[in-house]
Structure 1
Amino acid sequence: MSLINSLLEGLDANDRERTVGLIKTNIAADLENVAAGAGPARQVDVGTRSRARRSGSTSGR
């Protein structure tokens, strides 16, 4: 089963048609943006990445 089919499973005909239309519209917009030279949208929040911490002694301060 494809990803799209799994997303549409359980939807009635109207919801399925609307969802497929939204997916097609978003794909078309992304392709147009890439053709115009734009890079893919960057996700800002990508998990729970922690900052690097300094370890060792703090002497000299």
Structure 2
Amino acid sequence: MSDLGARLLAAHGRDDRPALVLLYREAADAANDENASGFYLTHAYVFALELGHPDAPTLHARLKQMGREE
């Protein structure tokens, strides 16, 4: 398992939602294809929305730029 995967699992285990926003964004940035990136960005965005996280607008803009919202 990759270090990022282990950190994601640990954050889920702790229900550390602020960390999940950052880790899923990191996973999106590291993804090798657009579908994987969109998957991870969507997760980051959902957690950000739940928290009222300040990164939510930026994540939303990235998803829109990728064509994930029509």
Report the TM-score, using the length of structure 1 for normalisation: 0.37
Bigger radius of gyration among the two = 1
More relative contact order, 1 or 2 (CA 8 Å, 6+ apart): 2
Greater helix fraction, Structure 1 or Structure 2: 2
